Every structure is written in structure tokens, then in C-alpha cells.
Amino acid sequence: MKISIITAVYNGGGSIARTLESVARQDHGAIEHIVVDGASTDTTLAIVRSQGKRVARVISEPDNGVYDAFNKGLRAATGDAVAFLNSGDTYVSSSVVSRMAYELARDGTQAVFGDVSIVDGLDDAHVVRRYSSRCFTPRRMALGLMPAHPSLFLLRETYKSVGEYDTQFRIAGDFELCLRVFAKRATPYRYVPEPMVWMPRGGLSNSGWRSKWHITREMQRACAIHGVQTNLAKLCLRFPLKILEMI
């Protein structure tokens, strides 16, 4: 199974090398690594050219945010399945891609996901919390629960069926896409109860209470678009679960 891995980056000179190396050391033979750069002005492109051992394609041009970058990668992808590994994120072992490809090949499975370990930006060995996908079910998306997106491997044919990421969303576009994949389409999936990705603390959805409020409002809007009955109180129920993940 050929796996397309899409890395979105903008001015990631300080973080892109670790992601490139993580993909390069995967033991899965059929990998297509696509780097989508938002016209970086730092050393990002030079690092990709010198250290991107398994990079198949580089797209570098201005974009309209991370979901626009994701869509550019999707259009360029030729793999049987697609995963996203953003700049700074790394796979926890060299066998992650082969493990997920194996799971995708079983019994008509179209999506597979695991957990993500959120780590201290300065120390990968210090796990701040484990973003677990264990409690996910399509019905629980009304509570704001979704698979850990950096661990999600989805057949490219499924993306063709549900469509691209909606760029009207600034921070919850992955949640809205998952609504279409799991809540509206009932896509067959498997959960692997292990961390698949190390993700440094920070980013759009992990940068303070203001961003958490914004993503919650976007989640509410996405649910309304797709006829999923919820409200802000229900969506905020996911926060106690996140606190438990830190214990």
C-alpha cells in the first residue's frame, strides 16, 4: 500500500528537519512524502532540499492557511492512503507507517488512527499529555471528540468521496472533515491504542483558552452545518477528558 504523507510548513526552519528525518527512517517501502510550504522566508526550503531524503514533491507558494495547504497536498497525492505530519511532528517509531498500512488493509477498513503524545517543545522525552482517541465514536463528535488528527490514516478514495478540507474554518477544519468522514458517511475505521506521533506542545488548537473558545465555536458551527445536534455546553465536556489525560 502506497502511503502519501503530507507535511504543511511555513517558516519551519527550526523544526522541519526532525519531521523529514522521521519520515525518512520509516521502514515502509512505498511512501510519497509531499511538503507543502507556504512560501517560507527562512531556511525551510534549503533544509528540505538538503535533508529531504524521501521527499517526492515540494510545493512552495503562498496559501490561505493550513487547510488550504492540506488541500494542495491532497490534490498532489497519488498514494492509496493519506496521512498528515506537520512540521515539528514526528512518528514515535520507524514502524508507524507500516503498522497503519497493515491495519488499513484489513477487512475493508478505510480509516485507522491511534493516539498522539503531546511533548514539551524542548524535550521530546517529557510527555505533557496523551491525546487519546480511545473514547471516540461518531456519535460522540457531538461532545467534541474526534480521532487524533496527526495519527489519522485515511484512504485517498475516501477523501475523494467526502471532499477536501473546508478553508472557511481557521482552526477546526480537521473536526469538520471528520464529521463528514465518520458522522455523515459511517466510514469503517480501526483504533490502534498506542501513541503514533509525538507533537510539540503549542499550535493553533493548543495555544491558550482563547484558541480553545474559538475552536469550540467553530465546532458548533460545523455540527450545525451537518445536522449534528449539540451545543456549547456539550462541546465543552471534552475538556475534563483532556485534564484526565494529563494525570
Report the alpha-carbon distance of residue 90 to residue 16 in Å, rounded: 10
* pTM for this predicted structure: 0.93
For residue 245, the model assigns a pLDDT of 58
Beta bridge partners of 242: none
Question: Residue 193 has what pLDDT?
Answer: 96
Q: Which residues contact 240 (CB under 8 A, 6 or more apart)?
A: none
Query: For residue 107, what pLDDT is reported?
Result: 87
Beta-sheet pairing, 55-60 with 31-37: parallel
At residue 207, the pLDDT reads: 53
Q: How many CB atoms lie within 10 A of CB 212?
A: 17
Query: In 3D, which of 154, 133, 157 has the Cα closest to residue 83?
Result: 154
> Per-10-residue mean pLDDT for the chain, 247 residues long?
98 96 97 98 97 97 96 98 97 98 94 94 75 94 96 97 97 97 95 96 62 93 96 88 63
Q: Give pLDDT, residue 238.
A: 86
Report the first-to-last Cα separation within the chain, whole angstroms. 38
Cβ neighbours of residue 197 closer than 8 Å, sequence gap 6 or more: 85, 89, 90, 91, 92, 96, 116, 117, 148, 150, 151
Domain definitions of the chain by residue range = 3-245
CATH of the domain spanning 3-245: 3.90.550.10
